[in-house]
Chains A and B, each alone.
Chain A
């Protein structure tokens, strides 16, 4: 089923912005890679020095970053693991992965994470979500609430109770249930808003199914899935 184009564009735009902000708020100094390698990657010739840094680049480069981003293969396997989709048995999905593979991160250095890489992550997440939503067994495993509701109109499928269950099941499946209480509250609220926007005041099965895929895509391409 086709998603409303306007909504798709809206989601992609939001995700891009989110990716940029989410990535570059980890005490990540810009231009760090240009002045040297400060962490995360595998340079093997670093020699500690007692010399004081002399310019801004060196100072920035010495900032320690203890968070990394998953590389291309780690992202593929992570998405496969949390969705249950067997990527290697899915020719279409692997085709998309091969297309975007070179745009996904090469190593775990978050300092060089780019918007292009976030686009590739989003594209791959979209494919996983299409495959997940299309497979009744996997879908029911991730969202038990959708067993009876996936083919219902959105008014029923996403009534207040179902919507809350759907959001919690999404968080549990993709983000692993390690959110703090505060994070959980925020996540629930924001995913609730996303559900409302994806339903877009329609009361149809089409709206239900695109909302499932849309929320899936947003959660699966988020930093919680791709960060180390």
Chain B
């Protein structure tokens, strides 16, 4: 029988161990651009990258791959999309949140700005103009295969017609997509949870600490669920004491009429709905305090002020933490190394990458390049 030969071929091909500069260059380009390096009449990226690796400059080789449009159009876009919806899936349309993160990476803006900057990226040449009330601008840009590497255009979020005032904008946290996904309905707790998951790599379960004072736990949390106050003290407090104390930051925001609305000095009604315990904390302004700054969750490495007012200050606090840098390094590691940092070497590598990320003034593109060199080029040597 001849057929078994074909089976062997593809099995062999697919399980082959790549090694050497040429193979590393091939893998590097595939991982970073999502497509293999294609030789054209004027360029041979594989040869160029191979030569750079041989010359001891793998970072420049990786930069060749990151200069490919699909680094933004395909790889980064699908990496960021899960941050912008509740399902955490990449099966979603391009939106202002994703576009802004891509723009920040492309322009090498400090990545901390993602959480607090007066910044928004639109897509030049999109068939439809930007709107605060729908996502058509980005949907159409994606459908028309717009080259995001070229067409992303930086704007001031507060300068957009009908936009939020400058003191109310806070990077992607106040984009329309964030509004639709995280501020709609509910009690405005969702947005903070997703911020912790997306930017500190910690869900609340990992932050559970029942020793935190519960003075900021809101009135809609029962103090004796099921008739047993022990449940509240041993479970509910673990998350609510911390998250409700931070939740004030979102007190003036709501997603209504298809857009994120900011109502200065007026706490949105849903923040104080459902009074199950009248002596509980009532939100009266956008003041917040980080109760997790001490105790078990001091491990997140909080730096600077741990209390403030509004989303911008909160975003700045999140971005200053060491957990932010480590989380970003871990996410990039997962993106380009295709595994979780579990073993000792990988954990150490992520730690080093996070430190370098801070030294590089939070340059996300450099972090991606450094990580890909570390786990593709260096491991293949």
- Which residues of A line the B interface, CB within 8 A? 14, 17-18, 21-23, 25-26, 37-48, 62, 64-68, 70-71, 73-74, 77-78, 81-82, 88, 102, 106-108, 110, 175-180, 183, 186-187, 189-191, 193-194, 196-197, 218, 222-224, 227-228
Contacts and interface: CB of A to CB of B under 8 A. Distances in A.
Contact of B334 (A17, A40, A106, A179): A40
Given A38-B340, A48-B347, A81 B14 contact: no
A223 to B, nearest CB: 3
Given A78-B36, A178-B23, A222 B10 contact: yes
Contacts of B78: 71, 73-74, 107
Provide the main secondary structure of the chain B interface.
helix
Interface stretch (B115-123, B201-209, B360-368): B201-209
Contacts of B338: 39-40, 65-68, 108, 110, 228
B348 to A, nearest CB: 11
Interface string B46-86: 10000000000000000000000010011101110010000
6 contacts: A39-B339, A39-B340, A45-B202, A70-B30, A191-B9, A223-B10
Given A42-B79, A77-B35, A71 B6 contact: no
Contacts of A62: 342
A74 B75 contact: yes
B15 interface: yes
B13 A183 contact: yes
A84 B245 CA distance: 56
A180 B26 CA distance: 13
B206 A47 contact: yes
A187 B26 contact: no
A196 B5 CA distance: 13
Contacts of A38: 339-340
A212 B203 CA distance: 52
A159 B275 CA distance: 84
Contact of A190 (B9, B88, B347): B9
Given A40-B339, A62-B342, A193 B12 contact: no
A78 B36 CA distance: 7
Nearest to A76: B74
A81 B5 contact: no
B201 A70 contact: no
A223 B14 contact: yes
B145 to A, nearest CB: 5
B153 interface: no
Given A45-B206, A66-B339, A222-B13, 10 more contacts: A21-B10, A22-B10, A25-B15, A44-B327, A46-B201, A70-B34, A106-B89, A186-B12, A186-B13, A187-B9
Contacts of B279: none
B35 A26 contact: no
B15 A224 contact: no
Best-buried of B10, B22, B202 by chain A (most CB within 10 Å): B10
Nearest to A23: B14
Given A40-B334, A73-B74, A73-B78, A187 B23 contact: no
Nearest to A80: B35
A22 B202 contact: no
B37 A42 contact: no
A21 B23 CA distance: 23
Contacts of B5: 189-190, 193
Contacts of A108: 338
B14 A22 contact: yes
User: What 8 A-B pairs are tightest by C-beta distance, nearest first?
Assistant: A223-B14, A190-B9, A39-B339, A74-B34, A68-B338, A22-B14, A81-B35, A88-B145
Contacts of B74: 73-74, 77
